């Protein structure tokens, strides 16, 4: 087992990893930018080291500075969390060259699955159902239009290196295709330094269902059930839950087996997520694989009673999985709400600033993952997520009631947040009946989609 782990991240996920390491008796090193000098993760870690100024390109995305910090602090391994360098194959390769364990899959696997067009091709060859579309990447609007016409409109234009809703556009006909393609490609170049695109048939009103998998170095792969991530704004997740009301036991078995098959097809090792689209006819299609821990991993932890961060660390240290698929039992229902520093009434404009008062709910089945505290100044330089509120109860109806109660008790004063918007979602009749898909927010909350 590792003696010391450096966490190459910030905010609530850094705090989450530090706490898991502390319980395992592993020392931790926090890295921080000048803007995060007083952040909670720097206070909780055993050691902390500044890696640069506020811009992430000069701190959390600077591979050489992070590697140098790891060597200087004599850490054995790096946990990248999510975002930043977590799916960067070059960083994983650099860690290997410096004899530092990267807590995640190898650079080769990140390359294969992180590039979405390459992942589609790999899954096709493995016999995993994928959304109809391009098998090879495309680079120009002209060649992409030919492919789109053969697939049939509407189509989804996607960046191969995209994520977080960036580099994605829906085109419903040839007349708007070129403009949408160029905009998506421009976003990809700006955000990911990659002009590689691909085309998929757009599945109308699907559910976004993802399966959590764990895989060790000895060929053992299990799935931990699904998460329903259909509540989205501009392809960015807002609220997640597990299990999905749309999934029967038989469908869960088939989708889970497919997720395991997909992971085995690439020799995957560590924690990962296989994302599917589920259409109205209960047909499912592979969409992409996330080669890292997910923001929404706590809902899976709640219904399986497993610690995914600890499992990641154990796998990276060379341990075999201590359980089989038959040992995985889904109990009850869990929901996670992402509380962000943003104003839904102003097109979800980020709202950094000083928090003057925080009160968090508690009680049985209520979990808070956060790095904020009274008088904490939310910097304008990073993602706007402040807190994840997770509840767990015996069934979905009880979990919804618990989440509404918890949201009603949560107080964050001094800045604008999306807390009230989350409460509106939980109070919506269609949501309560489980009638949700990826168009839920535009359909029921058009005032927030201008």
What does the domain layout of the chain look like in residue ranges?
2-102, 139-199, 205-446
**What integer pLDDT is reported at residue 169 of this predicted model?**
93
Whose CA is closest to 259, among 208, 229, 223? 223
In angstroms, the CA 28 to CA 6 distance is 6
**pLDDT mean by block of 10 residues, the chain; 450 residues:** 98 98 98 97 98 97 98 98 95 97 97 83 91 88 94 92 81 95 93 88 93 98 98 93 97 97 96 96 93 97 98 98 97 98 94 97 98 97 97 98 98 98 98 97 91
**What integer pLDDT is reported at residue 128 of this predicted model?**
94
**What integer pLDDT is reported at residue 119 of this predicted model?**
87
**What integer pLDDT is reported at residue 164 of this predicted model?**
66
Triad 88, 218, 7: Cα angle to 5°: 35
Q: DSSP letter at 138?
A: B
**What integer pLDDT is reported at residue 114 of this predicted model?**
78
**What integer pLDDT is reported at residue 340 of this predicted model?**
98
Q: Considering the domain 2-102 in this protein, what is its CATH number? A: 3.40.50.20
Same fold, 139-199 and 205-446: no
Question: Left, alpha or beta for 436 (phi > 0: left; psi -120 to 50: alpha)?
Answer: beta
- Angle between helix 396-409 and helix 419-427 axes, rounded to 10 deg: 150
- Fold of the domain built from segment(s) 205-446: D-amino Acid Aminotransferase; Chain A, domain 1 (3.30.470)
Instruction: For tokens 């054995």, name the residue.
Output: 76
Catalytic residue among 10, 16, 207, 292: 292
- Could you tell me which residues come within 8 angstroms of residue 41 by beta carbon, excluding any fewer than 6 positions away? 7, 9, 10, 11, 14, 15, 18, 30, 32, 371
In angstroms, the CA 19 to CA 17 distance is 5
At the top level of CATH, the class of 139-199 is alpha beta
**What integer pLDDT is reported at residue 118 of this predicted model?**
82
Mark whether 253 is an active-site residue. no
Whose CA is closest to 41, among 352, 376, 354? 376
């Amino acid at each position: 087992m590792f003696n010391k782990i450096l966490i190459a991240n910030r905010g609530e996920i850094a705090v989450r990893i530090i706490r898991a390491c502390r319980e395992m008796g592993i020392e931790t090193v926090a890295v921080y930018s000048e803007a995060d000098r007083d952040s909670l993760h720097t206070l909780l870690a055993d050691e902390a080291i500044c890696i640069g100024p506020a811009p992430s390109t000069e701190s959390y995305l600077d591979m050489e500075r992070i590697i140098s910090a790891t060597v200087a602090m004599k850490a054995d391994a790096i946990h990248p969390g999510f975002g930043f360098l977590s799916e960067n194959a070059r960083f994983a390769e650099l860690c290997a060259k410096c004899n530092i364990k990267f807590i995640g899959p190898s650079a080769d696997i990140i390359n294969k699955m992180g590039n979405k067009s390459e992942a589609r091709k790999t899954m096709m060859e493995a016999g995993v159902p994928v959304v109809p579309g391009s098998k090879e990447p495309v680079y120009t609007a002209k060649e992409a239009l030919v492919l789109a016409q053969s697939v049939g409109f509407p189509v989804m234009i996607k960046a191969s290196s995209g994520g977080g809703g960036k580099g994605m556009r829906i085109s419903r006909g040839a007349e708007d295709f070129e403009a949408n393609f160029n905009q998506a490609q421009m976003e990809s170049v700006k955000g990911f330094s990659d002009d590689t695109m691909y085309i998929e048939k757009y599945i109308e009103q699907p559910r976004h269902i993802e399966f959590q998998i764990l895989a060790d170095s000895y060929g053992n792969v299990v799935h931990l059930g699904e998460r329903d991530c259909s509540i989205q704004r501009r392809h960015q997740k807002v609220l997640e839950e597990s299990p999905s009301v749309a999934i029967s036991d038989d469908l869960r078995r088939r989708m889970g087996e497919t997720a395991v098959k997909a992971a085995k097809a690439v020799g995957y090792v560590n924690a990962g997520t296989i994302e599917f689209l589920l259409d109205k006819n209960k047909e499912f299609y592979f969409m992409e694989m996330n080669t890292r821990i997910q923001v929404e991993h706590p809902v899976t932890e709640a219904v399986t009673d497993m610690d995914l961060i600890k499992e990641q660390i154990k796998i990276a240290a060379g341990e075999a999985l201590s359980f089989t698929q038959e040992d995985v039992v889904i109990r009850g229902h869990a929901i996670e709400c992402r509380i962000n520093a943003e104003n839904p009434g102003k097109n979800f404009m980020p709202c950094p600033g000083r928090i003057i008062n925080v009160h968090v709910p508690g009680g049985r089945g209520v979990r808070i993952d956060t790095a904020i505290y009274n008088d904490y100044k939310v910097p304008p330089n990073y993602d706007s997520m402040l807190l994840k509120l997770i509840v767990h109860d015996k069934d979905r109806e009880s979990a919804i009631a618990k989440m509404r109660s918890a949201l009603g008790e949560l107080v964050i004063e001094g800045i604008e947040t999306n807390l009230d918007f989350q409460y509106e979602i939980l109070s919506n009749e269609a949501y309560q009946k489980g009638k949700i898909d990826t168009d839920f927010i535009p359909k029921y909350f058009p005032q927030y989609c201008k």
